[in-house]
Amino acid sequence: MKGEEKNEEYIELPEEEKKTLLTIKIEKALDIRDVERIIKVVREGNVCIVSLRDVKKNIPEYQALLENFKRYSNMFKVNIYLLGEDYILLTPKEIKVEK
């Protein structure tokens, strides 16, 4: 009708959240010096599959490498999963892998 104001209510819809892609990086650990670099990649929000194949032949080096990954993982709250003898999977603390 003429002269009447329409009382319209608007509902504000939330904007779509930006979808972030999960990046999975493939890394190779050749010695203990690679541990910090790889942990840094995971702390940036990436998942890393790390090959230990080349180090596995040298048992003391292999064990030292695993111990360093465990130590840094505990220090920086990074999840570490052993995938057989040749690979480990490192994820940020927000990402869990269920068995």
DSSP per-residue string spanning 50-95: EE-TTTTTSHHHHHHHHHHHHHHHHHHTEEEEEETTTEEEEEETT-
> Is residue 19 pLDDT above 80, yes or no?
no
Q: What is the pLDDT of residue 75?
A: 94
Residue 1 above 70 pLDDT?
no
- For domain 24-92, the CATH class is alpha beta
Task: Render pLDDT for 22-49 as a digit per residue (tens, 0 to 9).
Answer: 899 999 999 999 999 999 999 999 999 9
pTM listed for this prediction: 0.75
Provide mean pLDDT across the span 47-54: 96
Question: In angstroms, what CA-CA distances link 7 with 4, 21, 72?
Answer: 9, 43, 61
pLDDT mean over 8-16: 70
Domain boundaries in the chain? 24-92
